[in-house]
Structure 1
């Protein structure tokens, strides 16, 4: 009788234990599939977006900026899936009730939002400087070609005046040299400065004034007006370039800082969830795959 009772109790406890283990396994492994999946998706989406974004910034027009924004939106969605739950094509995600996980994921979400803001700022500067630069470049080049053509015409008109021809050729040289220096400066050559550029253009202007002293200021009025506008355009191009580089550098720094921050935070959240899984005490939360064979 006692043996039968003990056997019965033992059997009951075994059933209860087996049921408990089975339930725990279901919670951790199937019904509440790892929230670390979501944390991993955050890192994957963000890293892919980062790579595509850098390719776009370097001039690759085969990548789409809209795809970058979509990937970053996906990263935000997975943050929300961990915080409040959600459902997508991958399955059903149950919100975590772990205080540390929720705290970390809130920080991850905020960091991703700052990262997106930095990315949009960088992209805005690239598009803005590209548009503004193109317009300024075109105006500058047209002005340069016009002045050079007028100087060539001047040399032809006064072909018997050696001094006019000489000053015209010198003016053309200094304009060309200053143009070359400016392009080198804008391309990042630190051996050239804006003062050298302006000095060459100013010398060209002095040569034109010299021509005017010989043939009459009224005959070089158009040239003088043109070269003054040309020098102003050169300064505008330089200043726009400097402003764009300064703003872009700050945006780059913020962008890189936020990316590193939220990737580290996502790693931290994933590590916490994995420890909970290993301990078999994962709190309500997880990822349930859409499988018709699962109960």
Structure 2
């Protein structure tokens, strides 16, 4: 039987030398990253590790959305999600301003610059998407909920939900689940499961009992962190600071609560030998 996590307790976590345990502070929460004044990266709960897989070469012109993924998505360390950098194929001249130097842009009108602009489109994932080793996901791609992309595949189009995809370009090889496994997956309601119930997943998948018989609880409003971010060399994404906190669509505004949340999440930057950890600090503070 799984050891239960008490959502009202704060646990002391000792950090092994050289580990990346500090990311555990952020994992139970959805994360939005502001890139400049308008554009956003959006990560679902337990999917924040994908920041390191992103390369943002150009920002989309017609939407504030750059990258969006659902809950419980993961990617191998050498997988890449590449937004922008796509040359235009809808004009006879498909080079970009960067190819011949930015100085020339000073002599072009905003309308004329579009001829030399890149064709940047957002990338979207559903819940529980897995990218295997060496995968490349290109701008405009969409990978549906519950899908796995096999090693070395290149995704440039739409991959409908619950499939296994492989090849260049990626195509559906088979369904990810048979009917019985899909029924168990749907009953689990993984994307809504409260963080302190994560250790119950193996027992729930192995049992025919309803989820509430295992003591499973579900979120009504997802807690969300908003970071300021920037694009670094090679399109890598860097998080600067936690800026705001939300429960669902409601911003957390109470000064004392914001101070407690900031103190908790700032532990990840301080990198002490041990840190205080909660399965859901919002729940623990009574603001869920």
What TM-score, normalized by structure 1, do the two folds share?
0.19
What TM-score, normalized by structure 2, do the two folds share?
0.19
Higher strand share: 2
Q: Which has the higher contact order (CA 8 A, sep 6+)?
A: 1
Higher helix share: 1
Bigger Rg, which one: 1
